[in-house]
Amino acid sequence: MIPVIIAGIENQQTNFDYLMEELAELAYANGMQVVADVRQKLQRPVAATYLGKGKIQELYRIGQAKEAAVLLLNDELSPTQIRNLEKETNLDVLDRTELILEIFSSRARTKEAQLQVEIARLKYKLPRLRTSSHEKLDQQSSGGSLANRGAGETKLEINRRTIQKRIAQLSRELKNIDKEQLIKSSSRRESGLPSVALVGYTNSGKSTTMNGLLHFLNSPDAKEVLTKDMLFATLDTSVRKLHFKDNREFLLSDTVGFVSKLPHNLVKAFQSTLAEVKNADLLLHVVDISDEHSAEMIKITTETLKQLGVENTPMIYAFNKADKTGGDYPVIEGLQITYSARDEESISALADLMKQVLFKDYKTHKYFISYEQGRYLEKLNKLARVTKTDYTEKGTVITAEVAPVQEEYFSRFLTE
Ligand SMILES: Nc1nc2c(ncn2[C@@H]2O[C@H](COP(=O)(O)OP(=O)(O)OP(=O)(O)O)[C@@H](O)[C@H]2O)c(=O)[nH]1
Ligand SMILES: [Mg+2]
């Protein structure tokens, strides 16, 4: 394991501790061992060096004492910041974005995942190519086909163009794979089968839930997906056709998990992998409820879905790993289930819930919720499709399409 120092700047971020913990987890996932954790309170990063002068000296000392090889920063840094930090700390500097890209790169197995990661890496690299005067190409020796690119062209410009070409070429290759995927997924859609996509923070138990459902529903093409106690075990999308006990069929897909500050280029590059999520009729948002940061993880997943343009797809919150909390399970409340993906009774309850959401028609009802009970209004807005809201003196009158599983829950507010 490579010894690394993690460092970050704390400003008003409320979740700073969590982000630093997550950074350590990411480092571990990349075969690194955190030997020191250095933090600085600053309104904003120092333009040239990210951290302040004193901190950098401290980092140098710690680096020597702990024989660290790498300095890992919690944000995405500018090329200048990286260069200056490297010079002054005598450590290799890696920022959060590059670290995530490295993990993805080492995990990518299929051609599609490899292409997507490679494109994201090159896009990260492009604006970070370094200029330096001694890298100017000697016009005499540049010779060959490069010469007619124009005299005096710098090595930097050539590098840049090479990378751009490579991005274009990889994008073309990816497009060809996408075409095949598109044919597959459109034939799936034409089959008229409803589709469910597992989404959530990495390591929350999406793949375990998928396998649990595959076993329980005993589907003929039940090829298991990989599960592992490791960040980003899954990088590709797997789709399986399943059927409920009454033989009604649906499609279930498992895909890459999310993490905070997922690099924008990476999300963009993974658009095709995440196509199943975009086209799903129902999302199964898997949360590791035994993790003290589960609320944070829900937020991150919701934000990443938004980034993908997924906002109005019906969602079941699946609070997994309840076996580790000591609480009761399985428990269903509205569109939420507390369960354990390793427990058959849980999986059975989850399958029932999914079936209800997928196959029973939504019904329209009119509700009255007094202002004192405002929190139910929030719930209704989250769990149902509100089509009309009127504010009266005493409370709110809402017309909403409600899933059958929620009808009983909200029945006390019925007006007619
Ligand atoms: N105790 C317990 N462990 C679980 C449960 N569900 C999953 N796990 C474990 O959690 C780890 C991660 O599970 P995965 O199913 O691989 O998680 P994932 O969400 O697919 O993760 P990525 O693909 O890496 O994003 C594995 O070690 C699982 O065995 C559960 O209900 N209880
Ligand atoms: Mg997985």
Which residues are part of a known binding site for GTP? 200-207, 232-236, 254-257, 320-323, 340-342
Residue to mutate (ligand 1; options 203, 235, 252; most atoms within 8 A of CB): 203
Residue 136 lies in a domain: no
290 and 336 fall within a common domain: yes
Task: Give the separation between CA 105 and CA 115, rounded to whole angstroms.
Answer: 10
269 and 389 fall within a common domain: no
328 and 374 fall within a common domain: no
Domain stop point among 103, 123, 144: 103
- The residue type at 20: M
Tokens of 144: 């060959």
Tens digit of each residue's pLDDT, the chain (416 residues): 899 999 999 987 678 998 999 999 999 999 999 999 999 999 999 999 999 999 999 999 999 999 999 999 999 999 899 999 999 999 999 999 999 999 989 888 888 889 989 999 999 988 887 754 444 444 444 444 554 555 556 888 888 999 999 999 999 998 888 777 766 666 665 555 778 999 999 999 999 999 999 999 976 667 888 888 888 888 888 888 888 886 677 889 998 999 988 888 888 778 777 888 998 989 999 999 999 999 999 999 999 999 888 998 999 999 999 999 999 999 999 999 999 999 999 999 999 999 888 876 668 899 999 999 988 998 887 667 688 999 999 999 999 877 666 788 899 999 97
Alpha-carbon Rg for the chain, nearest whole angstrom, is 25
Q: Containing domain of residue 236, as a range?
A: 193-359
Looking at the CA of 227, which ligand is closest?
1
CB atoms within 10 A of CB 141: 9
Determine the pLDDT at residue 370. Answer: 93
Looking at the CA of 341, which ligand is closest?
1
Which residues are part of a known binding site for Mg(2+)? 207, 234
Which residues are part of a known binding site? 200-207, 232-236, 254-257, 320-323, 340-342
Tell me the pLDDT tens digit for each residue of 319-370: 999 999 999 999 999 999 999 999 999 999 999 999 888 876 668 899 999 9
Determine the pLDDT at residue 366. Answer: 95
Residue to mutate (ligand 1; options 25, 103, 211, 228; most atoms within 8 A of CB): 228
121 and 170 fall within a common domain: yes
Q: Residue 231 sits in a domain of what CATH number?
A: 3.40.50.300
Domain stop point among 85, 103, 121: 103
324 and 379 fall within a common domain: no
Domain stop point among 359, 380, 405: 359
Does ligand 1 come within 6 angstroms of the Cβ of 342? Answer: yes
118 and 200 fall within a common domain: no
Looking at the CA of 201, which ligand is closest?
1
* Dihedrals phi, psi of 263, to nearest 5 degrees: -55, 135
Please name which of 256, 257, 254, 258 lies closest in space to residue 300, comparing C-alpha atoms: 258
Q: Residue 6 sits in a domain of what CATH number?
A: 3.40.50.11060
180 and 234 fall within a common domain: no
Domain count, the chain: 4
Residue 148 lies in a domain: no
Looking at the CA of 233, which ligand is closest?
1
Residue 280 lies in a domain: yes
Does ligand 1 come within 6 angstroms of the Cβ of 208? Answer: yes
230 and 331 fall within a common domain: yes
Tokens of 316: 């079941």
SS3 readout for the chain: CEEEEEEEEECCCCCHHHHHHHHHHHHHHCCEEEEEEEEEECCCCECCCECCHHHHHHHHHHHHHCCCCEEEECCCCCHHHHHHHHHHHCCEEEEHHHHHHHHHHHHCCCHHHHHHHHHHHHHHHHHHCCCCHHHCCCHHHHCHHHHCCCCCCCHHHHHHHHHHHHHHHHHHHHHHHHHHHHHHHHHHHHCCCCEEEEEEECCCCHHHHHHHHHHHCCCCCCCCCCCCCCCCCCCCCEEEEEECCCCCEEEEEECCCECCCCCHHHHHHCCCCCHHHHHCCEEEEEEECCCCCHHHHHHHHHHHHHHCCCCCCCEEEEEECHHHCCCCCCEEECCEEECCCCCHHHHHHHHHHHHHHHHCCCEEEEEEEEHHHHHHHHHHHHHCEEEEEEECCCEEEEEEEECHHHHHHHHHHECC
120 and 76 fall within a common domain: no
Distance in Å, CA 254 to ligand 2 centroid:
7
Residue nearest ligand 1's atom 6 by CA: 205
Residue 232 lies in a domain: yes
310 and 213 fall within a common domain: yes
Does ligand 1 come within 6 angstroms of the Cβ of 232? Answer: yes
Distance in Å, CA 53 to ligand 1 centroid:
42
312 sits in the region (left: phi over 0; alpha: psi -120 to 50; else beta) called alpha
Determine the pLDDT at residue 150. Answer: 54
Residue 367 lies in a domain: yes
Residue 246 lies in a domain: yes
Residue 149 lies in a domain: no
235 and 343 fall within a common domain: yes
288 and 393 fall within a common domain: no
Residue to mutate (ligand 1; options 104, 107, 198, 207; most atoms within 8 A of CB): 207
